[in-house]
Amino acid sequence: MDHRSYRTVPNHPFRSLAARLVLALLVSTGLILQGVPAGAAQQVQLTDLSASLQTVAAEVLPTVVEIIVTGYAPIDGSSRALLATRESGGSGVIVDPSGYIVTNAHVVEGARRVQVRLPAALGGEGSGRSILKPSGELVGAMVVGTDAETDLAVLKVQREGLPYLELADSDQAGPGMIVLAFGSPFGLESSVTLGVLSASARQLRPEDPMIYLQTDAPINPGNSGGPLVDTRGRVIGINTMIFSQSGGNEGIGFAAPSNIVRFVYEEIRENRRVRRGILGVNAQTITPLMAKALSLPRDWGVIVSDVYPGAPAAMAGVHHGDIIVSLDGKPMENARQFRVNLYRKEIGSTVAVEVLRDGRSQNLQVQVVERPNQENQFAAMVTPEQNLVEKIGLLCLDLDENIARMLPNLRINSGVIVGARQAGSRQAAGFAPGDVIHTVNGKTVMNLVDLKREIQALLPLSPVVVQVERLGIFTLVVFEID
């Protein structure tokens, strides 16, 4: 986007697409902004605006693919565990000429086969060309890797010399920026919609390291994985989800920012998974209420609420209650910023952490280690017949000696491990694979039999507080029984 100020230039008024769009709308509705010369407004042509949008679309569309996924799903209404073949799909964007494609992880979730429909190569120009676009080539694709935390995935097709798009710097995107969304909503490939950014850093859950670009560009089912581009045709986001009461577009769509996409893409391409660095602390954002209650010297920033025993932070001298001032000299303003900056540090490297303790500043050197990934390692150990706790939609197993060795930061050597979550369960949403359940409404849970007994005794609409240990941190999951 052109960031120059809106001013007239002799013979070339309002060069940027954003300015032309605004003025075109004003002219078409008979409105003129105060202070804008009438002569400049009269020179704005809707045809000029249309041509600009068509130019961007022509550059982007050859890089946007339709993704077709074949998998298995339960038959609706069946009382038995019957599965049927299911076909679903989404969109993706080519980000490297050697065939690497970025899409959403949920687009390829549960896939047995993934195919990509490449855009058709059009012939030469001429009045004899058909306005109907030919169907593109359907090719097999390999899932290189997925990342559940960001809902991103990387695919690879065996092709070379493909058209591709660059990933822009999403930190430069701001509210009001004009964007275009591309994809295959409802299977209608090569669809383009226009809108603006409504917000550039929307955090949907407190302390969540994931943020989104919010846009009013129409996004519908099937757009998932498609690119959100700026007016220069660069990817600033990957369309991920919508908020909707009707199931369709209501002007509230969300895209993963391109800077996050770039990190995940590079990690998956190099390592087949996403490696994230940690120091072994739980960092939380300081709020004015927290600062007042704890008599903190500042009402903003980052506080250490827990230090994992034996972790690099503990060995380096980080204490519970320390205020993290900076990381490698960069001021830390909130917990998300602290975690995301750590993610990008090389595993095994050492970072400088400045902390404020008892009014005095201290500089500590802390080693970065890889965050354990517990998302999938327990899923193969559970089955619905033996491990399902039905009322809360969790598939759990007893914490035994073998499993305990898979959890190096375990602080209590008893409880129940969450192996997987049942799809569609509202109660299961607050849990994560690898969580260790210790108590239910204050009652100790030693094994799966205990957990099933405590949950079964709860009446509908009963409030439930479950204490879990997650990556060495104690936290509470709160919900109601349906």
229-252 pLDDT, tens digit per residue, is 998 999 999 999 888 766 666 778
pLDDT score for 102: 97
- CA–CA distance, 119 with 101 (Å, rounded to integer): 13
State the residue for tokens 């619905």.
384
Q: Which of 108-112, 150-154, 367-371, 455-459 shows the lowest per-residue confidence on average (mean pLDDT)?
A: 108-112
State the residue for tokens 């975690």.
339
pLDDT score for 375: 57
Q: How many other CB atoms are found less than 10 A from the CB of residue 433?
A: 20
pLDDT score for 44: 54
The fraction of the chain above a pLDDT of 70, given in percent, is 82
pLDDT score for 438: 95
DSSP 161-187: S-----B--GGG--TT-EEEEEE-GGG
Q: Provide mean pLDDT across the span 264-281.
A: 90
Check pLDDT > 90 for residue 95: yes
Q: Which of 185-199, 202-216, 337-351, 452-466 shows the lowest per-residue confidence on average (mean pLDDT)?
A: 202-216
- What burial letters (b/e) apply to 92-112, b meaning 16+ CB within 10 Å? bbbbeeebbbbbbbbbbbebe
Find the radius of gyration of the CA atoms of the chain. Answer: 26
CATH topology of domain 379-480: Pdz3 Domain (2.30.42)
Check pLDDT > 60 for residue 26: no
| E strand map for 81-190 | 83-96, 100-104, 111-117, 138-140, 142-147, 152-156, 178-183
- CA–CA distance, 130 with 136 (Å, rounded to integer): 15
Give 58-70 pLDDT, tens digit per residue.
999 999 999 998 8
Check pLDDT > 90 for residue 355: yes
- CA–CA distance, 482 with 480 (Å, rounded to integer): 6
Greater confidence (357 vs 410) lies with 357
Angle of CA points 465, 278, 225, to nearest 5° = 80
Q: Which of 102-111, 355-364, 373-382 shows the lowest per-residue confidence on average (mean pLDDT)?
A: 373-382
Q: How many other CB atoms are found less than 10 A from the CB of residue 9?
A: 10
Banded model confidence at residue 36, pLDDT cuts 50, 70, 90: low
- Cβ 147 vs Cβ 186: under 8 Å: no
Report which of 473, 477, 343 is spatially closest to residue 409, judged by C-alpha positions. 473
Banded model confidence at residue 85, pLDDT cuts 50, 70, 90: low
Q: Provide mean pLDDT across the span 67-93.
A: 67
Check pLDDT > 90 for residue 314: yes
Greater confidence (37 vs 387) lies with 387
Check pLDDT > 70 for residue 383: yes
pLDDT score for 15: 43
pLDDT score for 21: 57
- Cβ 110 vs Cβ 71: under 8 Å: yes
Q: How many other CB atoms are found less than 10 A from the CB of residue 90?
A: 26
- Which of the residues are catalytic? 106, 151, 224
Architecture of domain 277-370: Roll (2.30)
pLDDT score for 323: 96
Q: Bridge-partner residues for 29, per DSSP?
A: none
- CA–CA distance, 386 with 408 (Å, rounded to integer): 26
Check pLDDT > 50 for residue 6: no
Check pLDDT > 60 for residue 82: no
- CA–CA distance, 425 with 416 (Å, rounded to integer): 19
Check pLDDT > 70 for residue 78: no
- Cβ 24 vs Cβ 13: under 8 Å: no
Q: Which of 39-43, 134-138, 158-162 shows the lowest per-residue confidence on average (mean pLDDT)?
A: 39-43
Banded model confidence at residue 334, pLDDT cuts 50, 70, 90: very high
Mean pLDDT, the chain, whole residue set:
82
Domains of the chain, by residue range, sit at 17-44, 60-75+82-119+135-274, 277-370, 379-480
Check pLDDT > 80 for residue 306: yes
CATH topology of domain 60-75+82-119+135-274: Thrombin, subunit H (2.40.10)
Q: Do domains 60-75+82-119+135-274 and 379-480 have the same CATH topology?
A: no
Q: Provide mean pLDDT across the span 443-464.
A: 92
Q: What is the dihedral of CA 302, 307, 311, 317, to 10 degrees?
A: 80
Give Cβ neighbours of residue 44 (< 8 Å, ≥ 6 apart).
13, 14, 20, 23, 24, 27
What SS3 class is residue 259? helix
Check pLDDT > 50 for residue 4: no
Check pLDDT > 50 for residue 154: yes
Q: Which of 110-114, 138-142, 146-150 shows the lowest per-residue confidence on average (mean pLDDT)?
A: 110-114
Give 384-433 pLDDT, tens digit per residue.
888 999 889 899 999 888 788 777 668 888 899 998 887 667 788 788 88
